[in-house]
C-alpha cells in the first residue's frame, strides 16, 4: 500500500522521469503526483523536454564517450605535442631551410587549433543530450558561474547575453582542455536547440572565424588574446555565424 503523504524529493521526481527510480518507491511517487498537481505538471514538462531532446539528439545519445574527453589522454596530450614538435624540428633541420621550418610551424599551429575545435564538438555532443545534468552550475547563478570559471581557468570568463538570438543560458561546467582547464557554457532556444561555448588556452591565431562540422553538429571557432573560442550547435552555418558574432562582440579582449 502506498501513502501519498510520504514526501517525495526533487531527485526522486527526476529519477521517475528517467526510469531510474527503485521499484519500491514508484508507487509512492505516483501517489504523490496524483495528490500534487503542481508536481505532476512539472514532471509532465520534464518528460516533454526529454522526448524533444531524444527526438533531436537521439542519434548521438548512444555514442561512446569520445577519447578526446578522457582526462588521462587530455593530460598527456601536451607532452605528446612537445615530442612531436621536437621531431618536426629535427626533420626541418635535416631538410634544411628556415622557410620549410616556418611552414611546418604554421601547419602544426593550425592543426592544434583545429584539434581544439574538435574537442569542443565532442564535449558539445556529449552534454547536449543530458536532461538532468547538462551543466554543473545553473544559469540562474550566472555571477557565481563566471567567477568560478574565471578563477579556475585563469582568464576572464564571461557568459554572453544571447537573448537577441533567442538563446537562454542553461549554465556551465569546468572541463579538462588540451593545455589546462576549459570552460563550457550551454544555451538553449525555446524550441530545444542547444548551443555550447567552449573556451581554452590557445596559441596566438587570427581572430578570423572559421567553420567546421562533424557528424550532425557544426562549430565556429576563433581566438583572441591567447584564448580559443568554439561555438558549437546545429549544423546551420548562417545561424552559427549569427550567434558567434554576438559572442565575439561580448568576449572581445576578455583574454588573460
Bridge partners (DSSP) listed for residue 15? none
- The CA distance from 192 to 17, in Å, is 18
Q: How many residues does the chain have?
A: 256
pLDDT value at 67 more than 80: no
The structural domain count of the chain equals 2
Q: Do residues 115 and 209 share a domain?
A: yes
Higher pLDDT, 88 or 46: 46
Instruction: State what percent of residues in the chain have pLDDT above 70.
Output: 69
Q: Which helix (H) or strand (E) holds 48?
A: helix 37-61
Q: Are 45 and 13 in contact (CB under 8 A)?
A: no
Tell me which residue has cell 542547444.
Answer: 194
Instruction: Specify if 1 maps to a domain.
Output: no
**Residue 138 maps to which CATH number?**
3.30.200.100
SS (H, E, C) 69-98: HCHHHHHHHHHHHHHHHHHHHHHHHHHCCH
The pairing of beta strand 227-234 with beta strand 180-189: unpaired
Instruction: Specify if 4 maps to a domain.
Output: no
Q: Do residues 50 and 73 share a domain?
A: no
Higher pLDDT, 122 or 102: 122
Q: Do residues 74 and 27 share a domain?
A: no
pLDDT band at 206 (very low <50, low <70, confident <90, very high): low
Residue 109, pLDDT score: 47
Chain-centre distance for alpha carbon 176: 11
Higher pLDDT, 12 or 100: 12
Higher pLDDT, 108 or 21: 21
Average pLDDT for 174-188? 93
Helix (H, G, I), strand (E, B) or coil at 227: strand
Q: Do residues 156 and 215 share a domain?
A: yes
Q: Do residues 236 and 111 share a domain?
A: yes
Q: Do residues 163 and 218 share a domain?
A: yes
Q: Do residues 146 and 185 share a domain?
A: yes
Q: Do residues 213 and 175 share a domain?
A: yes
pLDDT value at 72 more than 70: no
Average pLDDT for 193-207? 84
- The CA distance from 228 to 211, in Å, is 14
pLDDT value at 155 more than 60: yes
pLDDT value at 77 more than 80: no
Residue 24, pLDDT score: 83
- The CA distance from 168 to 188, in Å, is 5
The mean pLDDT of the chain is 78
Q: Do residues 188 and 242 share a domain?
A: yes
pLDDT for 122-153, tens place per residue? 999 999 998 888 999 999 999 999 999 999 99
Q: Do residues 109 and 19 share a domain?
A: no
Instruction: Specify if 2 maps to a domain.
Output: no
Q: Do residues 48 and 75 share a domain?
A: no
Average pLDDT for 178-206? 89
Domain residues for the domain of 19 are 10-61
> Which residues lie below 8 Å from residue 163, measured CB to CB, with a gap of 6+?
none
Amino acid at each position: 500500500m502506498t501513502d501519498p503523504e510520504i514526501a517525495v524529493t526533487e531527485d526522486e521526481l527526476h529519477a521517475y522521469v528517467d526510469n531510474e527510480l527503485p521499484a519500491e518507491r514508484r508507487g509512492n511517487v505516483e501517489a504523490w503526483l496524483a495528490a500534487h498537481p503542481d508536481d505532476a505538471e512539472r514532471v509532465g514538462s520534464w518528460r516533454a523536454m526529454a522526448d524533444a531532446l531524444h527526438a533531436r539528439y537521439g542519434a548521438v545519445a548512444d555514442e561512446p564517450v569520445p577519447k578526446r574527453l578522457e582526462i588521462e589522454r587530455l593530460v598527456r596530450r601536451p607532452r605528446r605535442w612537445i615530442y612531436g614538435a621536437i621531431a618536426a624540428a629535427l626533420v626541418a633541420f635535416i631538410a634544411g631551410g628556415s622557410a620549410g621550418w616556418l611552414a611546418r610551424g604554421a601547419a602544426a599551429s593550425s592543426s592544434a587549433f583545429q584539434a581544439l575545435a574538435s574537442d569542443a564538438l565532442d564535449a558539445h555532443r556529449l552534454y547536449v543530450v543530458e536532461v538532468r545534468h547538462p551543466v554543473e552550475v545553473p544559469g540562474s547563478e550566472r555571477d557565481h558561474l563566471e567567477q568560478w570559471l574565471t578563477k579556475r581557468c585563469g582568464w576572464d570568463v564571461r557568459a554572453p547575453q544571447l537573448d537577441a538570438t533567442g538563446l537562454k543560458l542553461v549554465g556551465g561546467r569546468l572541463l579538462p582542455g588540451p593545455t589546462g582547464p576549459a570552460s563550457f557554457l550551454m544555451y538553449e532556444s525555446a524550441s530545444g536547440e542547444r548551443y555550447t561555448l567552449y573556451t581554452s588556452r590557445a596559441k596566438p591565431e587570427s581572430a578570423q572565424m572559421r567553420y567546421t562540422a562533424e557528424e550532425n553538429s557544426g562549430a565556429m571557432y576563433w581566438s583572441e588574446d591567447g584564448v580559443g573560442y568554439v561555438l558549437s550547435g546545429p549544423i546551420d552555418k548562417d545561424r552559427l555565424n549569427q550567434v558567434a558574432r554576438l559572442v565575439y562582440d561580448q568576449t572581445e579582449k576578455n583574454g588573460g
